Amino acid sequence: MILTSAITEKLRLIEALIRTPTYTAVGYTHGRIVYVSTVEGATDLWSLDLKTNEKIKLSEGGIHSLAPVRSKSPLVVYTYDVSKGRELQQVFVNHVEGGKEFRIEKMGPRRVLGMGFDGETIALGAATEKAMELWRLTPSGEAEKLYETHALLFVTDYNDGRIVGQGIFKGDPRAFEIFMYDIKKAEFKVYTPKEGSVNKNPKVRGDLVLFTTTAFGDEKLLIYNIAKDELEEPKFTHDDYKKYKFTEYVDYDWTDDGRIWFIGKREGRTKVFIDGKEVPMPEGFSSSLVVVENKAYITHSTLTSPPRVYEVDLRTSERRVILGADLPPEVASRLGKRYFIKYRSPDGLEIPTYVVESQAAPKPGPTIVYVHGGPWAEVADYWSVLLASLVVSGYHVVAPNFRGSTGYGEEFRRLDIGDPGGGDLQDVVAAAKWAKEQGLASKVAIMGYSYGGFMTFLATVKAPDVWDAGVAGAGITDWEEMYKLSDAFFRQFMDILFDNKRELWKDRSAINFVENLKVPICIVHPQNDTRTPLRPVLRYVMKLLELGKTFELHVVPDVGHAIRRIDDVLKIVMPAVIFLDRYLK
């Protein structure tokens, strides 16, 4: 392939964007902030001495998941994928001041479904081919399986002798219940304040469990008192939070001295509160908070600026960036305005959407409808390296939060349960129509990764006249074959998503409609993906070949669904950009 000077320059700018380091604060212990950064080419753990600014790297090659950091312990607990992307993980421990990593080998590699650390021992959820499990491990290497279930289960916290988390234990795919496992009693209990409600992300402190619930209407932050078997309202000293109405809570917990903090979200932007008092932050998205005495360390980003860590003085509200990197000027200058809009889907439902315009494209100009993964996720006003790469490449981006997205209330999120690839597909098609009607788009392509890849495959065969091209990353072409290739966790995920309506699998699988494809499609897929396996996609490709369709296939070797290294991000983004340059000019 011969690349023109224009596309070569475009690729240079994209690489500069992707290699700009990101920083996320995740905890504090023994005088050091623990953070995650891509500064050396992978998503690794670091620690920063708050007095000397000394930085120490704690992991190597990209971690997969992380347990909460406890200030009373100098240890940091995390996992690596030990299976070349197949997401079979083992737990590792390191000292916050660095040293030799220790692997806990007595629990064999598993898909990890959340971890907790009480400062002395580790708790985690895990999935095998057959079941979901609850484990307890020690930093010295011991491992004990505590519980096994076929229900969907995630560990969210572990403290004061209790493991807590969320799952679907009562068979209702539209509900989430809380579980509590008492270590001393070896007792597993399920709790919900109301049948059919959604209860999420419990945090535990003594007999108190802090969680969100929809039992009484919109999502609300409440406390369950285990000893009294009663619900309580959180108590705050300040009432700044009362000025806002949030649709969701990004995160929350207790500080070491017992104050409750939370990050509230509405329309993809956040506000931060400690003990009810607002911590002033720029417009955008604050994704994590670490409180150290009179200082807060907050991770913040927008759709046009990568994550950085602010130190905020809680007495004066003064803030400064302590960890961060600016985009190169020639990259930043191509990122245009970002804004939030709503348009209507054919059935009248309002679809909340973020738009980012490219300074390198005319209006109307080439536009990408970017479909997020999940589907229970969203495009908010936070950094997405894939979305930003498209804008820098010279494409306006319209990113719909189709029905089923998070961030807009449980009623909205539940709308695609039992109907994936139905109403949500119409929402995505309507985004292309909106972009043209508003004078933003000339040509329109669809692009997405994971569930967004599934939607790309399906949209290009079910609405083939809408698009000028498609890019499907780590997508799904055949739900029936995917089910056969999945472990216990993803089989449960599919049953929940489809509300056990397996008769829909055929109609929502692009492989059954491949003859309808009219536009070029670029397929980028990780070789070792166990969430969206490669094998059904290869069968789809063989049908494309037999029918003489125009396509590209790029298989990324020795990589799984979750991308941890910058070089692997480049292997996904670069082929897509070259393809779009050819077909969306």
Residues designated as active site: 450, 529, 561
List of residues 6+ apart from 142 with CB closer than 8 A: 106
Who contacts 99 (Cβ-Cβ below 8 Å, separation ≥6)?
Answer: none
Q: Could you give the CA distance from residue 492 to residue 131 in angstroms, rounded to a whole number? A: 10
Rounded Cα distance, 378 and 116, in Å: 25
DSSP for 208-227 reads EEEEEE-TTSS-EEEEEETT
194's tokens: 């109301």
Backbone angles phi, psi at 495, to 5 degrees: -60, -40
Instruction: Tell me, letter by letter, the H, E, C secondary structure of 10-45.
Output: HHHHHHHHHCCCCEEEEEEECCEEEEEECCCCECEE
Q: How far apart are CA 155 and CA 149, in angstroms?
A: 13
Q: Is 229 left (phi over 0), alpha (psi -120 to 50) or beta?
A: left
User: Position of tokens 């495009």?
Assistant: 379
The length of the chain, given as a count of residues: 585
**Token duo for residue 331:** 């990259």
Task: Answer for the pair 526, 553: CB distance below 8 angstroms, yes or no.
Answer: no
Q: What's the token pair of residue 295?
A: 């200082």
Q: Using the Cα atoms of residue 345, residue 348, residue 349 and residue 352 in order, give the sign of their dihedral.
A: positive
Give the Å distances, CA to CA, from 3 to 315, 462, 520, 577, 578. Answer: 55, 33, 19, 12, 9
Residue 118 has phi, psi (to 5 degrees) of: -95, 10
Query: Which backbone phi and psi does 532 adopt, to 5 degrees?
Result: -125, 85
